[in-house]
Amino acid sequence: MNEKGILFIISGPSGSGKGTVVEKLIKNKEYAVSISATTRAPRPYEEEGKHYFFKSKEDFEKMIENNMLLEHACFCGNFYGTPKKYVDEQLENGVNIILEIEVQGALQVKKLYPQSVLVFLAPPTLNELRKRLEGRGTEGCEIIDGRIERAREELKYIEEYDYLIINDFVENAVSKIMNIAMAEKLKVFRNQNLVKKIEGEI
Ligand code: ADP
Ligand code: 5GP
């Protein structure tokens, strides 16, 4: 029997670089990324089913009622949630999966899957965060202010995470996450099959 996949959760303030870092990580075929459902309007470059599943509020509520979401949360006026089925299938098949979600959702998943690995990706400073959000150009001034406020709130939850990574340079952050993944894979409790093999039982 396969060892189960590892569930990696990457959180961090909007604009800290989660999307950028995850895009590089999944070039490595060992990881699958979960596509979330959201009631937020798509950004010009975003595609249905690639970046998000874009939903009306009514459809999103139906997903909650039908128990289709592993977790969900409201973020700056929009709802976001992780479809449950895909995550469970990947883990069952031994595929490592990445959830790129905000703090409230991360804490819900941590309760359901205590063996998940929680990584907090922070910007070097909140000033740099504002610059990145302005540079991305996908939100106006007021929404950026809201996201910076939310970032202050999210920073209070760092202690709940297993690892803190400062996204100074993308390549540094990616290689640190890959190192974390390597160490996590080698943990004894994730390698019970190997232990049995050494003992000659399989
Ligand atoms: P998030 O997914 O966390 O909201 P993004 O990945 O969209 O953040 O990144 C926000 C902006 O910051 C993007 O324009 C991205 O190109 C830029 N960015 C990401 N990482 C870095 C970095 N290490 N240094 C400078 N700019 C970065
Ligand atoms: P954005 O609107 O910038 O794409 O995302 C806003 C925030 O929602 C980010 O912090 C992102 O990580 C988070 N997010 C994206 N998908 C999900 C999800 O499925 N669940 C939760 N809880 N947060 C999500």
Residue 53's pLDDT is: 98
Closest CA to ligand 1's atom 12: 132
* Strand pairing class (69-75; 78-83): antiparallel
CA 188 – ligand 2 centroid, Å? 32
Predicted confidence (pLDDT) at residue 42 exceeds the cutoff of 90: yes
* CB of 13 closer than 8 Å to CB of 151: yes
How far lies 5's CA from each of 31, 98, 114, 122, 152, in Å? 9, 10, 13, 25, 32
Among 57, 6, 38, smallest CA distance to 182 is for 6
Ligand 2 atom nearest to 76, measured from its CA: 6
Q: Is 16 in the pocket of ligand 1 (CB under 6 A)?
A: yes
Distance CA 21, CA 15 (A): 11
Place of tokens 């970032």: 151
Residue 29's pLDDT is: 80
CA 104 – ligand 1 centroid, Å? 21
How far lies 49's CA from each of 33, 35, 147, in Å? 12, 7, 24
Predicted confidence (pLDDT) at residue 2 exceeds the cutoff of 80: no
* CB of 151 closer than 8 Å to CB of 128: no
* CB of 162 closer than 8 Å to CB of 176: no
Helices and strands (DSSP H and E) totals, the chain: 8, 9
Contacts of 91 (CB under 8 A, 6+ apart): 4, 5, 7, 97
Predicted confidence (pLDDT) at residue 182 exceeds the cutoff of 90: yes
Predicted confidence (pLDDT) at residue 145 exceeds the cutoff of 70: yes
Residue 1's pLDDT is: 65
Structure tokens at 176: 């640190």
- Which whole number is the average pLDDT over 102-120? 97
Mean pLDDT of the chain: 95
For a ligand 1 pocket test, name from 20, 21, 119, 144 the mutation site with the most ligand atoms within 8 angstroms of its C-beta: 20
- Which whole number is the average pLDDT over 103-119? 97
Distance CA 31, CA 97 (A): 5
